[in-house]
Amino acid sequence: MCVVLVDGTEPLHVQDLKVAEQAWTAGAGVILAVNKWDLVEKETMTAPAFEKDVRRRAPFLQWIPVLFISALTGQRVRKTLDLVVAVHDERLRRVETHEVNELLRELVGRQPPPHSRGRPVKIRYGTQVGVAPPTFALFANFPKDVPEHYIRYVHNGFRERWGFSGVPIRIRLRPSTKESART
């Protein structure tokens, strides 16, 4: 788990983003705690505007919970531990194989993978193969030909269904038959 503590009276620094990104890439659960919120001059929608600006800076920040705290006054400090526990639980959560396959059928039915060199690419099934961070294996006839944008589509579908707030999701593509492994 990684709690990235930033100063709310200053804009988010590049170094803060690098720390968060490094933790995210390593598979840690990440929370962004914005300290000194008691010193920030508040107007209507100050916190949502700050969050929107933060999430605009890096795509992975879209999935990280943001908590506005004040160490001086104690405002929401206790909620930090509750959020750490909640994100940790998300890292360890398992999704049943039948649920993964039901969602994959829905996603593929809504938007099939693009063809590759005139051949239909088929994602046949999937399963969760690990936790901390949640890792899913998807089996396809031509796994190397599934484009990155389609993997993002599946990733976003998984997040929409199961959340995994504050946790990176790994998706691995594997061949579904020995024949496709040779092609």
CATH classification of the domain holding 153: 3.30.300.20
Q: Which of 21-35, 50-64, 101-115, 160-174 has the lowest mean pLDDT?
A: 50-64
* Statement to judge: residues 87 and 102 lie in one domain: no
* 109 and 68 both lie in a single domain: no
**E-assigned strand segments in the chain:** 2-7, 30-35, 66-68, 123-130, 135-140, 170-175
Residue 179 one-letter amino acid: E
Whether residues 35 and 114 fall in one domain: no
One domain for residues 59 and 14: yes
Question: How many domains does the chain fold into?
Answer: 2
Both 69 and 114 in one domain: the answer is: no
Is residue 146 predicted with pLDDT exceeding 90? yes
Per-residue pLDDT at 183: 46
Out of 59, 91, 123, a domain closes at 91
User: Is residue 129 domain-shared with residue 104, that is, in the same domain?
Assistant: yes
pLDDT at 182 over 60: no
Q: What is the mean pLDDT of residues 163-170?
A: 96
Is pLDDT of 171 > 90? yes
Domain that holds residue 106: 97-182
3-state secondary structure of 62: helix
Structural contact between residues 154 and 172, judged by C-beta atoms closer than 8 angstroms: no
Residue 178, pLDDT score: 56
pLDDT confidence of residue 60: 87
Question: How many contiguous H segments (helices) and E segments (strands) does the chain have?
Answer: 6, 6
Q: What is the mean pLDDT of the chain?
A: 93
Domain-ending residue, one of 43, 68, 91: 91
